């Protein structure tokens, strides 16, 4: 979402959210009454690495910009909080958390759809698919990344993304093709190692395999716009899709566009059947901006998440013939974000979201732009001031800052430097380049969601879906485990292989 | 609460919380059904400076200690989140936030029961008292501190605590004595300047004035234990009461003891009347430990808050003849607390609450203990290791650490140093010595509380109470404002006086 569209976006909030949400004025609550309806469909939304303060930081920016005090779309959908720890740490990674959400088990950081003995556990997506539901995965990261992987793949470590790609499309999955709709980034794990830009260690052509399994495969926005038929696999970028603030809408659809397309396609495909659909939508890169300690990229991906959530809520309201329940919750906080610092003049406590108003690109993109620039020292400093700091929103850089930044020779370090320069101005701080243990906010909408309100362990998200649809994950797990060759080859570490690499930067 | 009692405390949780709270297993929810009952009484609980991560930090400690995964008492009472900003900053102080909770208005940081033009606004406590409700204020800070002050006093700056003391008891309040029950610390603002330990700038004896206004006045635990009759004013300490971890139970009651005493006394006093009671209970010093960046003192005051909340919930359940609604929410986050850091070995993401197990005193008390110690350099280092770091929970201090700490000559600096030494071990970090803008968790229990669920602006807390009891705050505000002499003398800044001091460390 571009900044200019925020005005309309916020105006809509004033009209919509109060009436539709549980957060209207006391005594004036008009929550949509779903009666005793059971849902036909389920939407799981995961804003990755999105802590409570991420939302606050974005909301205060909108408040400053619009001189408003309204809620953002997801605020109106709050139903509780989620506890996130994994089986081996008070601070989870994305794969352990997504495995809790998908399979209802606690596992170690790094584990994908397996427990700490590498035993595979069936997911709600697999179980619903076997029952005839249509399924989808929609993300802005590589589609083989930890969160989507944990809904369909089973392997001892999240970094095995080329393995995950083949499980995802059903080629290396004991239950065959189980995902009908796939949208996101990460084509590199589908291209054979002989193709430039591939990340595969082998010559397997996963796109060709996917076609053989029935998928319509596409890699461009223009093909996406031609409304391909299910099942489809659309990957728009080699690596992760762009941060929202950097996104070229001619090349990559927004999270909202992908989510609504997914809902419409899954709805059409299940309109006449008793079974509905299940889709997992991930706002993947809120997390990456947290790891990079880049408040600007973080902010705009949060706004894009809010916009997608508002559209999803609206979609649910508009499709009462196919009742849909939605639960959204982050997998963990990222970066240890805090907002507000002490300043020596009144008011002593202060956060200044106005600093974000001038931002036009992420710190990562700008840092790479600078390192690609060649010129004299003076030209470099001018470029830094005009073409890096200014588009990042910093127009008052001191000479000392320019001097310091000009010396940086790694784009990762310049990315962090830019984030800190912005943070010091806006009074936005990060405590880590990794995750924290913070509880995350639990959101929900649609039939039966009140029954899930409260403080929840992350595994209870899967329990809720199991209860809603009467699933038997155990029996599906047994089917997975029966295939010993698959377990040995695709799930477990090879003999002598390190159990797991350390999990950094995800 | 002492560490040893936590075992029983947590065992109780397993039995109680799931059944009584909105957070039981999906499909097994057994929320207490209050039907259409209207509450007779209202309890407002404010854990000052208590962010979402404060609760997480404490819960994980209990999980580690008990090898459990259960919720803490307040987790089961979550109903939403509260937005906290003030009229002049995205980061509020306690007086602006408490004024939002008490009077339903946004004011500037530092303002107590007034808006930014220094116009007084009536509070729910004042309004309910005028309607015949009994009222109480129970805190662990000085009773004249910003949060309790904002329920009964009206003045342009929170630092005017000697002024606030006289409004509190009704001596300098246009509506006369309106608080029937007062428990907390801070007798220094009641003692005439001629008495040692007084903080008053004048020779006014506020305790004698209070007696003249009908209060039973006491300053010891033994008098508290003799069940004094209402109205009473019991202040146990000159300054704030002790942190829970430092509390001498022979001298100071716990927050839970004071809260339950208050509920029982207010219940008895209103048993036969149509009007019930209103009480504000503040877990005041969670905030102070946040300002000091002392995770140990923070932890134990959070556990004491949870224990008090569990007792309050139980009290409400046990008094169905006098239906009581309780809302609890912090006024703001404090310290920018985050929990979890990256470490070079597996699991990379880590928080180690086990470090808190050895803590026996707050950093503040231990820092003062060290600075009072006299001896040779070697004796000082030994004292530091054995009598300061060990009781703080740090038994593995390096020689370099001892060397560094031994050089510190200010107790405030040593307090922060101890907190950081503990934090670096446990992987608990603070970003500021002040507040942050974080949304805080909203808790509730009792009749009608579901109607208040959701994402709330802090002013809506007052709106909710106004709606529940049909109050007319405007008419009470007019009564206040009519007394122009009082407004000029007690509320407004004197001509030429600085509007407000900067607000630090509260």
- CATH number, domain of B378, equals 1.10.60
Put simply, the chain B residues between 238 and 297 with a CB less than 8 A from any chain A CB are none
Sign of dihedral through CA atoms A415, A247, A434, B60? positive
Q: How far apart are the first and last CA of chain B?
A: 24
| A471: CB partners within 8 A, 6+ apart | A124, A127, A128, A131, A465
The pair of three-digit structure tokens given for residue B66, joined into one six-digit string: 């008990």
More confident residue, B347 or B455: B455
Mutation choice for B interface testing from A340, A435, A450, A459 by most B CBs within 10 A: A340
* Residue B235 placed within a domain: yes
Predicted local confidence at residue B347, as pLDDT: 58
Residues B347 and B317 grouped into a single domain? no
Question: Which positions in chain A touch B76 (Cβ < 8 Å)?
Answer: 454-455
User: Nearest-CA neighbor of B329 among B459, B184, B144, B164?
Assistant: B459
In the predicted structure, residue A8 carries a pLDDT above the cut 60: no
- Dist CA A379 CA A367 (whole Å): 16
Q: Which B-chain residues 35-64 have CB contacts (< 8 A) with chain A? A: 52-53, 55-57, 59-60, 63-64
Q: Count Cβ atoms within 10 A of the Cβ of residue B75 and give its class: 0-12 exposed, 13-18 middle, 19 or more buried.
A: buried
Distances in Å between the alpha carbon of A96 and those of A145, A153, A206, A269, B338?
A: 12, 13, 26, 31, 20
pLDDT digits (tens, 9 = 90+) for B39-65: 999 999 999 999 999 999 999 999 999
- One domain for residues B267 and B290: yes
Q: For the CA atoms of chain B, what is the radius of gyration?
A: 22
Whether residues B338 and A336 touch (CB distance < 8 A) is answered with yes
| Token duo for residue B21 | 């709270």
Q: Does A156 touch chain B (CB under 8 A)?
A: no
Computed over every residue of chain B, the mean pLDDT equals: 92
Residue A431's closest CA among B348, B339, B421? B339
Which uninterrupted H or E stretch holds A129?
A: helix A124-130
Structure tokens at A184: 């996101």
Same domain flag for B236 and B288? yes
Report the number of secondary-structure helices (H) and strands (E) in chain A: 19, 16
pLDDT confidence tier of residue A44, bands split at 50, 70 and 90:
very high
- Give the model confidence (pLDDT) of A446-476 as tens digits: 999 999 999 999 999 999 999 999 999 999 9
* Banded pLDDT at A498 (limits 50, 70, 90): low
| Cβ pair A69:B457 closer than 8 A | yes
What is the C-alpha separation between A325 and A461, in angstroms, rounded?
A: 12
A310 sits in the region (left: phi over 0; alpha: psi -120 to 50; else beta) called alpha
pLDDT digits (tens, 9 = 90+) for A258-269: 999 999 999 999
Rounded CA-CA distance A238/A222 in Å is 16
Nearest CA in chain A to B92: A349
- What are the backbone dihedrals phi and psi of residue B313, each rounded to the nearest 5 degrees, phi first? -60, -45
**pLDDT of residue A504 exceeding 80:** no
Q: Are A340 and B332 in contact (CB under 8 A)?
A: no
Per-residue pLDDT, averaged over B128-157, amounts to 98
Residues belonging to chain B: 506
- Interface pTM, i.e. ipTM: 0.91
Answer yes or no: do B367 and B396 share one domain: yes
Taking CB atoms and an 8 Å cutoff, what residues of chain A touch B463? 25-26
Does A297 sit behind a cis peptide bond, omega within 30 degrees of 0 on the bond before it?
no
Which chain B residues touch A350 with a CB distance below 8 Å? 89-91
Confidence at residue A346, expressed as pLDDT on a 0 to 100 scale: 53
Asked if residue B213 lies in contact with residue B177, where contact means CB atoms within 8 angstroms, the answer is yes
Residues of A in contact with B434 (CB under 8 A): 340-342, 348-349
Does A231 fall in a domain?
Answer: yes
Q: Are residues A153 and A204 in the same domain?
A: yes
Best of B293, B338, B453 to substitute, by most chain A Cβ atoms within 10 angstroms, is B338
Residue among B71, B485, B506, B231 nearest A348 (CA) = B506
CA end-to-end span of chain A, whole Å?
24
**Alpha carbon B146 to chain centroid distance?**
10
Q: Does A190 lie in the same domain as A106?
A: yes
Rounded (5°) CA angle B329-B334-B337: 110
φ, ψ (nearest 5 deg) of residue A338: -135, 155
CA–CA dist B10, A330 (Å, integer): 27
* Residue A94 annotated as catalytic: yes
> What is the H or E stretch that residue B96 is in?
helix B94-103
Residue A1: the pLDDT is 35
Of the candidates B412, B383, B385, the residue with the CA atom closest to the CA atom of residue B398: B385
pLDDT of residue B68: 87
Q: Which two tokens stand for residue B214?
A: 């009908």
Q: Return the sign of the alpha-carbon dihedral for residues A131, A133, A139, A142.
A: positive
Boundary residue ending a domain (A387, A403, A429)? A429
User: pLDDT category, A310, cuts 50, 70, 90?
Assistant: very high
Vertex A232, ends A227 and A236: CA angle to 5°? 80
pLDDT digits (tens, 9 = 90+) for B66-120: 998 889 999 999 999 999 999 999 999 999 999 999 999 999 999 999 999 999 9
- Its sign, for the CA torsion A458, A459, A464, A469, is positive
A371 is in which domain, residue-wise? 342-429
- Residue B312 to residue B316: CA distance in whole angstroms: 6
- A positions 194-213 inside 8 Å of B (CB): none
Beta strand spans in A406-498 (E): 428-429, 435-436, 440-445, 454-457
- Per-residue pLDDT of A332-347, as tens digits, reads 999 999 999 877 665 5
Residue B31 falls inside a structural domain: no
Indicate whether B179 and B292 sit together in one domain: yes
Q: Tell me how close the Cα of A303 comes to any Cα of chain B, in angstroms.
A: 17
Q: Does B159 touch chain A (CB under 8 A)?
A: no
Between the CA of residue B470 and those of A454, B128, B133, B269, B462, what are the distances in Å?
29, 10, 13, 22, 12
- Looking up tokens 């000029």 gives B488
Q: Would you say B48 is a known binding-site residue?
A: yes
Q: In this predicted structure, what is the pLDDT of residue A345?
A: 61
Nearest-CA neighbor of B167 among B183, B151, B185? B151
Angstrom distance (rounded) from CA B390 to CA B369: 13
**CA nearest to A447, candidates A316, A296, A260:** A316
| Averaged pLDDT for residues A240-246 | 98
- Does A401 contact B at CB distance below 8 Å? no
The answer to the question of residue A262 being in a domain is: yes
Whether A300 and A164 map to the same domain: the answer is: yes
Asked if the C-beta of B500 comes within 8 angstroms of chain A's C-beta atoms, the answer is yes
| Confidence grade of residue B165 (pLDDT, cut at 50, 70, 90) | very high
Query: Quick check: B493 pLDDT over 90?
Result: yes
Q: How far is A25 from chain B (nearest CA, A)?
A: 7
Q: What is the pLDDT of residues B256-315, one digit of tens each?
A: 999 999 999 999 999 999 999 999 999 999 999 999 999 999 999 999 999 999 999 999
Category of B398 on φ-ψ map: left (φ > 0), alpha (ψ -120 to 50) or beta: beta
A340 contacts B437? CB cut-off 8 A: yes
- How many contacts (CB atoms, under 8 Å) link A and B? 251
The Cα angle at residue B87 between residues B81 and B91, in degrees rounded to 5: 55
CB atoms B338 and A21 under 8 Å: no
Give the pLDDT score at B18.
Answer: 31
A48 is in an annotated binding site: yes
In contact, A296 and A422? CB cutoff 8 Å = yes
Give kind and range of the element (H or E) at residue A282.
strand A277-283
Provide, as residue numbers in chain A, all residues whose Cβ is less than 8 Å from the Cβ of B457.
Answer: 69
Asked if residues B137 and B152 have their Cβ atoms less than 8 Å apart, the reply is: yes
With CB atoms and an 8 Å threshold, state whether B351 touches A25: no
Subunit contact B467:A340, Cβ cutoff 8 A: no
Indicate the number of domains in chain B: 2
Chain centroid offset of residue A327 CA: 14
- State the DSSP code for B107: -
Is residue B503 in a domain?
no
* Shared domain check, A268 and A303: yes
Residues B277 and B403 occupy one common structural domain: no
Q: Cα separation of B154 and B173, whole Å? A: 9
Residue whose pair of structure tokens reads 């090898």 in the numeric block? B67
**pLDDT-based confidence at residue B31 (cuts at 50, 70, 90):** low
pLDDT tens, A354-393?
Answer: 999 999 999 999 999 999 999 999 999 999 999 999 999 9
Examine the domain organization and report whether B68 and B140 are in the same domain.
Answer: yes
Nearest to A16 by CA among A315, A454, A319, A443: A315
Q: Are A49 and A332 in contact (CB under 8 A)?
A: yes
Residue among B383, B305, B394, B307 at smallest CA distance from B357: B394
Sort out which chain B residues have CB atoms less than 8 A from A67's CB and list them.
Answer: none
Let me know if residue A260 belongs to a domain. Answer: yes
The verdict on B370 and B440 lying in the same domain is: no
* Sign of torsion over alpha carbons B48, B54, B58, B61: negative
CA distance B506 to B314: 31
Helices (H), A221-339: 221-225, 255-270, 286-291, 295-317
Question: Which among B25, B348, B452 has CB closest to A26?
Answer: B452
| Residue B11 confidence (pLDDT) above 80 | no
CATH number of the structural domain spanning residue B202: 3.40.720.10
Asked whether the beta carbons of residue A345 and residue B502 sit closer than 8 angstroms, the reply is: yes
A150's tokens = 């944990």
Query: Given the DSSP bridges, would you call strands A78-83 and A440-445 parallel, antiparallel or unpaired?
Result: antiparallel
Last residue of a domain, one of A429, A447, A468: A429
A28: which residues sit within 8 A by CB, 6+ positions away?
A: none
- The DSSP bridge partners found for residue A281 are A45, A138
The CATH number covering residue A391 comes to: 1.10.60.40
A22 is a domain residue = no
Per-residue pLDDT band for A299 (boundaries 50, 70, 90) equals very high
Residues of B in contact with A71 (CB under 8 A): 455
* B502 occurs within a structural domain: no
Residues 6+ apart with CB under 8 A from B401: B389, B421
Cβ burial B384-398 (10 Å sphere, 16+ → b, else e): bbeebbbbbbbeebe
């Amino acid at each position: 979402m571009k900044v200019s569209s925020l005005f309309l976006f916020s105006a809509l909030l004033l009209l919509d959210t109060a009436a539709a949400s549980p957060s209207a004025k006391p005594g004036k609550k008009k929550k949509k009454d779903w009666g005793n309806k059971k849902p036909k469909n389920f939407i799981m939304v995961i804003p990755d690495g999105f802590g409570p303060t991420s939302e606050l930081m974005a909301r205060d920016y909108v408040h400053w910009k619009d001189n408003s005090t309204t809620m953002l779309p997801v605020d109106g959908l709050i139903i509780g909080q989620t506890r996130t720890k994994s089986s081996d740490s008070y601070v989870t990674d994305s794969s352990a958390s997504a495995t809790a959400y998908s399979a209802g088990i606690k596992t170690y950081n790094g584990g994908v759809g397996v427990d700490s003995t590498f035993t595979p556990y069936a997911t709600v997506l697999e179980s619903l698919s076997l029952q005839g539901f249509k399924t989808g995965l929609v993300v802005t990261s590589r589609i083989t990344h930890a969160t989507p992987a944990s809904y369909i793949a089973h392997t001892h470590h999240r970094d095995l993304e080329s393995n995950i790609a083949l499980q995802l499309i059903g080629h290396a999955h004991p239950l065959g093709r189980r995902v009908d709709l796939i949208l996101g980034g990460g084509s590199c794990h589908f291209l054979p190692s002989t193709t430039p830009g591939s990340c595969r260690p082998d010559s397997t052509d996963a796109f060709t395999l996917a076609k053989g399994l029935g998928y319509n495969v596409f890699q461009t926005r223009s093909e996406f716009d031609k409304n391909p038929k299910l099942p489809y696999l659309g990957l728009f970028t080699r690596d992760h899709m762009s941060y929202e603030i950097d996104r070229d809408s001619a090349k990559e659809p927004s999270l909202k566009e992908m989510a609504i397309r997914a809902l419409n396609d899954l709805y059409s495909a299940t309109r006449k059947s008793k079974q509905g659909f299940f889709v997992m939508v991930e706002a993947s890169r809120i997390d990456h901006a947290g790891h990079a300690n880049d408040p600007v990229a973080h902010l705009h991906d949060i706004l894009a998440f809010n916009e997608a959530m508002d559209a999803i809520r609206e979609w649910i309201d508009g499709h009462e013939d196919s009742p849909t329940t939605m639960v959204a919750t982050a997998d963990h906080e990222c970066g240890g974000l805090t907002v507000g610092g002490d300043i020596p003049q009144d008011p002593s406590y202060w956060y200044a979201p106005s600093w974000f108003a001038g931002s036009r690109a992420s710190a990562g993109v700008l840092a790479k732009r600078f390192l690609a620039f060649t010129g004299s020292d003076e030209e470099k400093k001018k470029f830094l001031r005009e073409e890096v700091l200014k588009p990042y929103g910093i127009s008052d850089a001191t000479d000392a800052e320019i001097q310091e930044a000009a010396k940086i020779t790694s784009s990762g370090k310049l990315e962090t430097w830019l984030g800190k320069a912005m943070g010091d101005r806006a009074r936005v701080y990060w405590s880590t380049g990794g995750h924290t243990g913070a509880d995350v906010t639990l959101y929900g909408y649609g039939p039966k969601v009140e029954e899930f309100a409260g403080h929840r362990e992350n595994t209870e998200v899967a329990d809720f879906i199991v209860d809603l649809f009467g699933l038997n994950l155990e029996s599906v797990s047994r089917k997975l485990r029966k295939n010993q060759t698959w377990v040995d080859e695709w799930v477990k570490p090879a003999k002598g292989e390190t159990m797991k690499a350390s999990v950094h930067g995800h």
